[in-house]
Amino acid sequence: MTRPTPQSVYELLFAHYGDLNWWPAGTAYEVIVGAVLTQNTAWANVEKAIANFGGELSPQTIAHMDMQDLEDAIRPAGFFKQKARYVRNVTEWFAEYGYDADVVRRGDVAGLRPELLNVKGVGRETADAVLLYAFGLPTFVVDAYTVRLCERLPLQAGAGYEAVKAFFEAHLPVDTQLYKNYHAMIVVNGKNFCKKKPACTGCPLAGVCEKNTEG
């Protein structure tokens, strides 16, 4: 069996899935809010919460919204009291840039990522998702599906979020679109095939995975 690499895994996934065009959002701010709300819940619940704003989801709206009203709006996403505070916190961070996504984009990951990580309620996965999907800055997003993929193939990515992130970034071109689509494909493949209990039949990575249970 040929030892897989981050690049070869990407190519196998891309041949199967193509460009998945993530993240589903109308504005950079909607991505920011979605990235916070999706913590510990399904995306369908996030969509319900965002729909409660009736197309009026903006940082100005959130900044001036009564906290009780904000909690009620995001209730479908779960942990609504906690997440309401987190959404307000990250909105205050965005306010430092005049709510202008283009101003943020003039920065870089090295400067912006520590800022976001200092915002209460924003962890590493959320910070990277915000920078990548809201602002188009090249930072690789790691989640539970990524870790599972590395363990099963295996890819010698190391242990811990930062190690896995650094591994992928060291073995791939610095390419925002590639990072977006790679993350999307890993998530979709994890939901379809590389589940907690693997369902390997039909998986595009079956031919290179040591944990393949086919046959």
Q: CATH no. for residue 66?
A: 1.10.340.30
Q: Say yes or no: 130 and 47 in one domain.
A: yes
Residue 110 lies inside a defined structural domain of this protein: yes
Both structure tokens of 203: 């998986």
CB 165 within 8 A of CB 128: yes
Q: Say yes or no: 56 and 38 in one domain.
A: yes
CB 128 within 8 A of CB 176: no
Nearest to 149 by CA among 191, 201, 177: 191
Residue 215 is predicted with a pLDDT of: 55
CB 148 within 8 A of CB 157: no
For residue range 50-107, what is the model confidence (pLDDT) as tens digits?
Answer: 999 999 999 999 999 999 999 999 999 999 999 999 999 999 999 999 999 999 999 9
77, 109, 134 - which closes a domain:
134
Displacement of CA 53 from its chain's centroid (Å): 22
Residue 90 lies inside a defined structural domain of this protein: yes
- Please state, in angstroms and rounded to a whole number, the distance separating the CA atoms of residues 25 and 20: 14
Interval 189-214 mean pLDDT: 94
Residue 215 lies inside a defined structural domain of this protein: no
Interval 149-171 mean pLDDT: 97
The secondary structure of residue 154, as a DSSP letter, is T
Q: Report the amino acid identity of residue 60.
A: Q
Q: Is the pLDDT of residue 9 over 90?
A: yes
Count up the domains in the chain and report the number: 2
With tokens 């919460």, the residue in question is 49
